[in-house]
């Protein structure tokens, strides 16, 4: 099983990658390749040009800038897991990366590729929504910053503009009084989630000052369950409110039926993952 | 599509190959370089039979382009044994009967080789997590886990 023919180009810098995207019509960027190459083998994608961005050092690495963690788009899943900065300041990302695929795939797969690819089963888009991340995009007209909230528009459809490249992901440091939860149901190692839900809660005393509930693989793209968030925001969260919120999560789920389950089952699993993550986040935020 | 030249270190020897851009690393290793220890299983980056060591990291060679291995250092299962005999992971798989049909074994061995460098003294749970990218449809994994434990002890004593 091999892809159809294409021309292979190696980009040496971000500027070079943007120039090559412009020079080669219908070209695709090759990040870790663990979503794109399987699609190309199955002829779901047949780009005439691949631009390999694995050699661009400036796209790798994790650094702390004040209260913001800046993650290079080509940072691999295993590098996320091993990062002391993330273990200390954003353990949600470490937890999520540990549940992506398997050790070999995590050596190749990158956070930027996962966010930009567009498969609703990718895990990081929902994590970016829950963390209220900012995406740094470079294009022919320079740099722009785009909140993750609003970036994911549909299956294989996002706000990445022509000849743009995702360069960096910026997430806030998780502070005292902020808790996170992450729940993912999958049939086996290496499979996409049946449903997943990262949740971040900010407490002010006992009151929920803010909450973000995101969902993986229960809609055409990663989504926020805003109606559910509205039920919990500004309240002292108890079991009855969590049940009301879970009902709103169930209502917003719009999964595609496949071998992982039918629409009803997957929607209920989405609600259950959110329920578990809300409880875990709450417990953690209370310290 | 014109073939292009790649050059890499394979099991300690510098090798050259002409490859198509769409050629996958596992095909270059097996067909052009005639090292057939690395197996092709699912061809979709799930089963791990094609696992090789690329610049000190385990990767699935069915999902890496040969072009991407240019300039790298590669090790396949053929590179494990040396003049003194089998590698500790190979010896342990024999002793613990860590295989039945043997199809997944080259991938298991080269992954175990790398895993025990990442984590020289793993718990059983860590072994199961560290080896989770390699599927075996015969053994039920019990003896594979034992083999990795035994290899860890041998390597620790060495």
In a domain, A100, yes or no: yes
- Closest residue of A to B108, CA-based? A104
Distances (CA, A) of B148 to A190, A237, B125, B129: 21, 47, 12, 12
In a domain, A21, yes or no: yes
Contact A8 B4 (CB under 8 A): yes
Longest dimension (CA), chain B: 52
In a domain, A99, yes or no: yes
In a domain, A124, yes or no: yes
- Closest residue of A to B133, CA-based? A102
Give me the CATH number covering residue A268. 3.30.390.50
User: Does the beta carbon of A55 lie under 8 angstroms from any beta carbon of chain B?
Assistant: no
Domain spans, chain B: 4-78, 88-157
Instruction: Measure the CA–CA gap between A124 and A253, rounded to whole angstroms.
Output: 18
Contact A38 B21 (CB under 8 A): no
Contact B65 A33 (CB under 8 A): yes
Could you tell me the pLDDT band of residue A253, with boundaries at 50, 70 and 90?
very high
- For A59-104, what is each residue's pLDDT tens digit? 999 999 999 999 999 999 999 999 999 999 999 999 999 999 999 9
Could you tell me the pLDDT band of residue A184, with boundaries at 50, 70 and 90?
very high
| Residues of chain B in Cβ contact (below 8 Å) with chain A | 1, 4, 20-24, 27, 43-46, 48, 51, 57-60, 63-65, 67-68, 111, 115, 129-133
Instruction: Measure the CA–CA gap between B131 and A128, rounded to whole angstroms.
Output: 28
Pairing mode, if any, of strands B57-60 and B51-54?
antiparallel
A39 and A120 fall within a common domain:
no
With CA atoms as reference, report the closest residue to A83 among A62, A109, A99. Answer: A62
With CA atoms as reference, report the closest residue to B41 among B26, B55, B53, B28. Answer: B26
Q: Which residues of B touch A2 (CB under 8 A)?
A: 22-24, 27
A121 and A163 fall within a common domain:
yes
A225 and A274 fall within a common domain:
yes
- For B63-105, what is each residue's pLDDT tens digit? 999 999 999 999 999 999 999 999 999 999 999 999 999 999 9
Q: Which residues of B touch A38 (CB under 8 A)?
A: 44-45, 63
DSSP B77: G
Answer yes or no: are the C-beta atoms of B80 and B12 closer than 8 Å: no
Q: Taking the CA of residue A94 as centre, how many other CA atoms within 13 Å lie in the half-sphere pointing to its CB?
A: 13
When CB atoms are compared, the residue of B43, B58, B64 closest to A103 is: B58
**DSSP helix/strand/coil, B24:** strand
Contact A102 B27 (CB under 8 A): no
| pLDDT number for residue A228 | 98
In a domain, A116, yes or no: yes
Q: Which residues of A touch B133 (CB under 8 A)?
A: 101-105, 189-190
Q: Which residues of A touch B24 (CB under 8 A)?
A: 2, 37
With CA atoms as reference, report the closest residue to A72 among A35, A115, A104, A105. Answer: A115
E-only strand ranges, chain B: 4-10, 13-19, 51-54, 57-60, 73-75
In a domain, A271, yes or no: yes
Helix extents (H) in B60-104: 88-95
| Three-class HEC string of chain A | CCCCCCEEEECCCHHHHHHHHHHCCCCEEECCCCCHHHHHHCCCCCCCEEEECCCCHHHCCEEEECCEEEEECCCEHHHHHHCHHHHHHCHHHHHHHHCCCCHHHHHHCEHHHHHHHCCCCCCHHHHHHHHCCEEEEEECCEEEEEECCCCEEECCEECCCCCCEEEEEEEECCCCCEEEEEEEECCCCCCCCCEEEEEEEEEECCEEEEEEEEEECCCCCCEECHHHHHHHCCCECCHHHHHHHHHHHHHHCCCCCECCECHHHHHHHHHHHHHHHHHHHHHHHHC
Residue A116's contacts (CB-CB under 8 Å, 6 or more residues apart) are A31, A73, A158, A160, A166
| Tokens 């002292």 sit on residue | A236
Is the pLDDT confidence value at A276 over 80? Answer: yes
Is the pLDDT confidence value at A16 over 90? Answer: yes
Q: Which residues of B touch A102 (CB under 8 A)?
A: 48, 132-133
> Looking at the domain that runs over B88-157, which CATH code has it been given?
1.10.150.120
Locate A191 and state its tokens.
């499979």
Domain range enclosing A140: 62-171
Q: Of A171, A202, A227, which closes a domain?
A: A171
Percentage of chain A lying above the pLDDT 90 cut: 99
| Whole-number average pLDDT of chain B | 97
Residue B106's contacts (CB-CB under 8 Å, 6 or more residues apart) are B37, B38, B39, B49, B51, B76, B77
Instruction: Measure the CA–CA gap between A114 and A166, rounded to whole angstroms.
Output: 11
Helix (H) or strand (E) holding B150: helix B142-157
Could you tell me the pLDDT band of residue A170, with boundaries at 50, 70 and 90?
very high
Give me the CATH number covering residue A157. 3.30.465.10
The residue length of chain A stands at 287
Answer yes or no: are the C-beta atoms of A128 and A115 closer than 8 Å: yes
A34 and A79 fall within a common domain:
no
Q: Of A171, A198, A225, which closes a domain?
A: A171
| pLDDT number for residue B1 | 73
Domain count, chain A: 3
Distances (CA, A) of A181 to A137, A175, A176, A282: 28, 14, 15, 8
Query: ipTM value of the model?
Result: 0.97
Answer yes or no: are the C-beta atoms of A253 and A235 closer than 8 Å: no
Could you tell me the pLDDT band of residue A268, with boundaries at 50, 70 and 90?
very high
In a domain, A40, yes or no: yes
| pLDDT number for residue A1 | 86
Instruction: Measure the CA–CA gap between A242 and A25, rounded to whole angstroms.
Output: 49
Q: Which residues of B touch A105 (CB under 8 A)?
A: 45, 60, 63, 133
Q: Which residues of B touch A3 (CB under 8 A)?
A: 22
DSSP B71: T
Give me the CATH number covering residue A46. 3.30.43.10
- Closest residue of B to A191, CA-based? B46
Q: Which residues of B touch A52 (CB under 8 A)?
A: 65, 67-68
Q: Taking the CA of residue A11 as centre, how many other CA atoms within 13 Å lie in the half-sphere pointing to its CB?
A: 28
In a domain, A179, yes or no: no
- Closest residue of B to A9, CA-based? B21
Domain B4-78 fold is Ubiquitin-like (UB roll) (3.10.20)
User: Does the beta carbon of A50 lie under 8 angstroms from any beta carbon of chain B?
Assistant: yes
- Closest residue of A to B1, CA-based? A5
Instruction: Measure the CA–CA gap between B123 and A262, rounded to whole angstroms.
Output: 38
């Amino acid at each position: 099983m091999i892809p159809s023919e294409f021309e292979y180009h190696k980009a040496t810098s971000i500027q070079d990658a943007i120039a090559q995207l412009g020079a080669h019509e219908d070209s695709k960027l090759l990040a870790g390749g663990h979503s794109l190459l399987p699609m190309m083998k199955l002829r779901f994608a047949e780009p005439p040009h691949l631009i390999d961005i694995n050699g661009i050092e400036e796209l790798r690495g994790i650094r702390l800038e004040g209260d913001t963690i800046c993650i290079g788009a080509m940072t691999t899943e295993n590098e996320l897991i091993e990062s002391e900065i993330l273990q200390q300041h954003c353990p949600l990302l470490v937890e999520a990366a540990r549940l992506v695929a398997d050790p070999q795939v995590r050596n190749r797969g990158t956070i930027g590729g996962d966010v930009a690819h567009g498969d609703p089963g990718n895990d990081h888009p929902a994590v970016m929504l829950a963390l209220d991340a900012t995406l740094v995009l470079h294009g022919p007209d320079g740099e722009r910053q785009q909140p993750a909230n609003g970036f994911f528009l549909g299956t294989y459809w996002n706000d990445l503009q022509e000849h743009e490249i995702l360069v960096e992901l910026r997430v806030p440091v998780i502070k005292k009084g902020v808790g996170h939860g992450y729940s993912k149901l999958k049939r086996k190692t290496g499979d996409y989630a049946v449903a997943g839900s990262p949740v971040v809660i900010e407490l002010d005393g006992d009151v929920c000052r803010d909450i973000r509930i995101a969902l993986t693989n229960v809609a055409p793209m990663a989504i926020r369950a805003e109606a559910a968030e509205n039920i919990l925001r500004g309240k002292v969260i108890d079991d009855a409110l969590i049940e009301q919120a879970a009902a709103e999560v169930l209502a917003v789920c719009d999964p595609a039926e496949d071998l992982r389950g039918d629409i009803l089952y997957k929607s209920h699993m989405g609600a259950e993952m959110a329920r578990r993550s809300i409880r875990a986040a709450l417990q953690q935020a209370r310290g | 599509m014109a073939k292009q030249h790649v050059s890499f270190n394979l099991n300690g020897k510098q090798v050259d190959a002409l490859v198509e851009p769409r050629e996958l690393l596992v095909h270059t290793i097996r067909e052009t370089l005639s090292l057939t220890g690395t197996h092709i299983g699912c061809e979709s980056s799930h089963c791990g039979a094609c696992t090789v060591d690329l610049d000190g990291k385990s990767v699935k060679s069915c999902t890496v382009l040969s072009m991407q291995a240019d300039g790298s250092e590669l090790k396949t299962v053929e590179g494990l044994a040396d003049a003194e005999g089998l590698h500790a992971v190979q010896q342990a798989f024999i002793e613990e009967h860590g295989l039945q049909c043997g199809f997944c074994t080259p991938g298991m061995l080269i992954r175990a080789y790398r895993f025990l460098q990442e984590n020289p003294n793993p718990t059983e749970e860590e072994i199961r997590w560290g080896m989770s990218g390699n599927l075996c449809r015969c053994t039920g994994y019990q003896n594979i886990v034992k083999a990795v434990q035994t290899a860890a002890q041998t390597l620790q004593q060495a």
